[in-house]
C-alpha cells in the first residue's frame, strides 16, 4: 500500500526518522549509501546501542554516508541533506520549537534511546513533511511511534522479513498496521528519494 504525502506549508526540511536495533548498524549503512548528496531531507537515526559505542558508530557511519553525519546535539536545528545519530545518555526527542533535545523520562523504558519516544515526538511537533522508517531489531520498540506517525498521514515504512537480520520490530509494526509500506532494505532509500526529491546542492537550507 502506498500513501500520498500531505502538503504542509513549512520552511522546515522534510524529516526522515529512522529506528533500528539488532542488525541496525549494517542496515543504517545500507540505507545511507542509497541516498545522494542533495537529498532534501534531514535523516535522524535512533539505534539501540550501549553508550560506550555510539561515538564509534557515528564515525563508522560517517565513512559510509554520502551525507554529512554527526551525533545529534541538544538544541540542534535540523538541516536538509544531513544525517544525525542519537547520542547516548537519554531519549532523543524533537521539541516543540522543532529542535532536537534529550530527556530522561521515561526512566524505566527498556531501551535508551527509545525509538517510540522519538517517533512520537516527531508526530506531535514536526510541522513539515516527514517519514518514519523502522528497520531490523528485536522487540517492538518503534511500532507504536510509527503508528502515531501514520495517524498523521506521514509516510511510514517497515523493513521486510527477508532483509531483516532480526524481524522483531518491523514485524510488530506490520502487525499493528503502522507501516504504509513494507519494503526490502535496498529499496527504502529510493522510496525516500521519490518522496523527497533532490534539491540543488547550492540551494540554501
In the set 114, 116, 141, 164, the catalytic residue is 141
CA nearest to 165, candidates 29, 45, 23: 23
Residue 139 in grid coordinates? 522487540
d(CA 53, CA 100): 21
CA nearest to 128, candidates 189, 27, 186, 41: 41
In the set 48, 65, 91, 164, the catalytic residue is 48
Active site residue 141: yes
In the set 21, 114, 121, 123, the catalytic residue is 21
E-assigned strand segments in the chain = 15-20, 42-47, 69-71, 83-85, 91-94, 100-103, 130-134, 155-159, 181-183
The dihedral formed by the CA atoms of 122, 33, 23 and 106, expressed in degrees to the nearest 10? -20
d(CA 155, CA 14): 11
Active site residue 51: no
Active site residue 91: no
CA nearest to 14, candidates 164, 191, 202, 182: 191
d(CA 136, CA 165): 6
Which residue numbers are catalytic? 21, 48, 141
Amino acid at each position: 500500500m502506498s500513501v500520498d504525502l500531505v502538503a504542509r506549508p513549512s520552511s522546515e526540511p522534510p524529516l526522515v526518522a529512522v529506528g533500528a536495533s539488532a542488525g541496525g548498524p549494517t542496515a543504517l549503512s545500507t540505507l545511507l549509501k542509497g541516498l545522494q548528496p542533495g537529498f532534501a531531507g534531514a535523516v535522524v537515526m535512533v539505534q539501540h546501542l550501549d553508550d560506550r559505542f555510539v561515538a564509534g558508530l557515528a564515525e563508522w557511519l560517517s565513512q559510509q554516508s554520502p551525507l554529512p553525519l554527526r551525533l545529534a546535539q541538544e538544541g540542534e536545528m535540523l538541516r536538509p541533506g544531513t544525517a544525525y545519530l542519537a547520542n547516548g545518555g537519554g531519549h532523543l526527542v524533537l521539541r516543540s520549537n522543532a529542535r532536537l533535545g534529550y530527556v530522561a523520562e521515561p526512566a524505566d523504558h527498556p531501551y535508551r534511546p527509545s525509538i517510540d519516544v522519538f517517533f512520537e515526538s516527531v508526530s506531535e511537533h514536526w510541522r513539515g513533511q516527514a517519514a518514519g522508517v523502522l528497520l531490523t531489531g528485536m522487540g517492538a520498540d518503534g511500532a507504536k511511534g510509527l503508528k502515531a506517525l501514520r495517524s498523521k498521514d506521514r509516510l511510514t515504512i517497515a523493513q521486510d522479513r527477508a532483509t531483516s537480520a532480526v524481524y522483531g520490530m518491523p514485524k510488530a509494526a506490520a502487525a499493528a498496521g503502522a507501516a504504509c509500506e513494507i519494503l526490502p532494505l535496498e529499496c527504502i532509500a529510493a522510496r525516500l528519494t521519490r518522496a523527497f526529491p533532490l534539491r540543488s546542492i547550492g540551494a540554501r537550507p
